[in-house]
Structure 1
């Protein structure tokens, strides 16, 4: 567990390895390219294998690009948290990574200003300039790496529920299958109750029953519904941000940036101490389209949306909703006193025992890439 004082505000931070049951997210769910260090000086001639420098340069490029993707996703997450905070001051849980994946899947079908607004809103405009499919390719690499990490225990999937006579372009369907493994499910949206039951059935199955009813109703005029989900069960790094004074936790959100979090992590040092952490479960659902509009992504939700890469009938299409429901659960093991590694900034004197008994923020990320998987705050651990 890591604890550190903040820069702008009095704050305690704890980085802990916890068993979080998972976070399935509806419209949306990753990971770094791992390079092993090589000890060339102590290797025999027989053990040495020549590597084409062009291959190494390519791997370095992808590593840098994934770091850019991680930074952009984190900035998007922090900005979105601030938008959510303007609506309520209770518990929060959402997946910046999951929402980014869903929007990039949709973006493959967009053109012009519609596409540009999505890129800018996700803070991925610089990367997107390197090629039309660079973002899908990066997300594919990240997700493949996460899937290969058995300890992370993360699975994800993508469904496209498509109206039986809706003309979707073959190029788009092929790309979505290639980069996001999208499974297409024929659906009769004219029978809205039947369509709702079908979609909820798929979601219940894939999230192991943790999201029993994502859709309460479905518009019979719907042509396509994209659903991306994440199931997260393993050990990952949770950075817990605990303000020194009760009531100051909301003020922290104005200062959250990549640079601030990176400064916290770089200034941590290890020591042992006892930490009491509460058992809690969060279950939050957000109509993300309303929040995304506030972040400059507007055109895709209007009648002037350009989705001509998705369907030939694009002039009649617009995105009506983007929903995300997220669940995070820390079980009984999180309530016990933990004797673990803890870090602190040298100038700050830490107590020998820390009790997380007041509102706190958490940042769940993959260690190597620093990819922001889930973000939120716990104000009352007993309220879903």
Structure 2
């Protein structure tokens, strides 16, 4: 039976090539998670995460122009937040600043408290929505860990910690890959291709998401060979079709149409179709304010929707991207992870992010805030028709926490 799946895995690998140490600063202490996202820490984290998502998106577009983009900003930022618990001095401040946090105005304890709330809120099981998120650390057996770091990753992020024998790199790789494959229900296999002999710790963050549309498409109306524009040519794709009431609007400032389709449960998808030749303008303008404007301005009306049925898989080596976003010291000899271990010098050697996406007749998700109204360019008497037959953006948002779970761009839906 066709379904919608979104699986994302983020891996951070740390190496311990030499021995040294320096005293750690006091670990941050998060307080119990707030009761709603209106509380300051959670709302600040959510807003910063959204802006971080769009900054990372623009970097990935530069790295892979003309390619499909798909990733989980929540997975990446949560992994960085976990990593920051063990970072000290400039290494810590670079990580948190790159994520959009001003430590002068927002203490680290508030940042960690906000993440704790989001991770907990997103992990609550729902009847109509399967969303599982978690962090796990595989740590070299003989590595002497700081007690505070171990305590904080378990308390704040409910992370599992597994002592691992990295001297047998192939066995360690199989163990990590097997764990990830199980947690993503077989969707992400062979995540790690190789491990360096000096590996001291592997941090894995995974997200598994499966949902059904609130208003599913009828497979009988799916056209199997519909033209989709890719550059100056076209490819044939299965195009789903339905006429229903959806939240919809045209943003005249950004020259794009915005369609919101809800999933069962508390999640929503935004499909954003830029006018021809306006994709770059749209990408440069994306921000948390933009998303809030859309989510609070779209109006429900009858819409005839044409949307591709597609699957894609992406993989990114973020160790080449994150330094350009300000996280520099973590990757070189200036790294200070003395909050993880006093004895050994650690630095980040590899950051891998993998994502798998399936969109079908049965499923996808949305969220945000502002009072600007968007226009609808059609007569009220007939349904407005929107056809996603060229490059478009996709955002999946958890409404309760106003968190962007997934973000992507579909350039070629025929490319797996």
Matched, 1:205 2:172: no
- Aligned position for 1:22: 6
Matched, 1:360 2:357: no
Deviations 1:220-254 (A, max 9, x none): 11011111111111332111110122x53244211
CA distance in 1, matches of 2:400, 2:164: 40
User: Displacement of 1:378 after TM fit?
Assistant: 0.5
- Aligned position for 1:155: 132
CA distance in 1, matches of 2:188, 2:35: 38
CA distance in 1, matches of 2:361, 2:354: 23
Alignment of 1:252-267 (within 5 A): 252-267=282-297
Which among 204, 223, 229 is matched to residue 206 of structure 2?
229
Deviations 1:47-84 (A, max 9, x none): xxxxxxxxxxx757962322211110011111111111
CA distance in 2, matches of 1:323, 1:194: 19
Are the structure 2 counterparts of residues 252 and 130 from structure 1 closer, same or farther at C-alpha, using a change threshold of 3 Å? closer
CA distance in 1, matches of 2:125, 2:174: 33
CA distance in 2, matches of 1:308, 1:22: 35
CA distance in 2, matches of 1:169, 1:163: 13
User: Displacement of 1:159 after TM fit?
Assistant: 1.3
CA distance in 2, matches of 1:346, 1:110: 47
Q: Larger % of helix: which?
A: 1
- Aligned position for 1:83: 59
CA contact (8 A) 1:91 1:377 kept: yes
Superposed CA RMSD: 2.3
CA distance in 2, matches of 1:20, 1:27: 24
CA distance in 2, matches of 1:62, 1:110: 29
Are the structure 2 counterparts of residues 277 and 261 from structure 1 closer, same or farther at C-alpha, using a change threshold of 3 Å? same
Q: Bigger shift: 104-113 or 185-194?
A: 185-194
CA contact (8 A) 1:146 1:152 kept: no
Matched, 1:274 2:320: no
CA distance in 1, matches of 2:286, 2:325: 17
SS at match of 1:86: helix
Which among 66, 69, 91 is matched to residue 114 of structure 1?
91
CA contact (8 A) 1:27 1:98 kept: no
User: Displacement of 1:371 after TM fit?
Assistant: 0.8
SS at match of 1:305: coil
TM-score using structure 2 length:
0.74
User: Displacement of 1:360 after TM fit?
Assistant: 0.4
Alignment of 1:340-379 (within 5 A): 345-346=374-375, 348-349=377-378, 352-379=384-411
TM-score using structure 1 length:
0.80
Are the structure 2 counterparts of residues 171 and 359 from structure 1 closer, same or farther at C-alpha, using a change threshold of 3 Å? same
- Aligned position for 1:39: none
- Aligned position for 2:343: 313
Q: How many equivalent pairs are there?
A: 327
User: Displacement of 1:105 after TM fit?
Assistant: 0.4
SS at match of 1:125: coil
SS at match of 2:409: strand
- Aligned position for 1:36: none
SS at match of 2:100: coil
Which among 100, 117, 122 is matched to residue 141 of structure 1?
117
CA distance in 2, matches of 1:244, 1:287: 31
- Aligned position for 2:46: 70
CA contact (8 A) 1:285 1:324 kept: yes
Matched, 1:324 2:353: yes
Which among 271, 281, 284 is matched to residue 240 of structure 1?
271
| Greater relative CO (CA pairs within 8 A, separation 6+) | 1
User: Displacement of 1:347 after TM fit?
Assistant: 5.5
Unpaired runs of 5+ in structure 2? Answer: 13-33, 212-262, 365-372
CA contact (8 A) 1:117 1:297 kept: yes
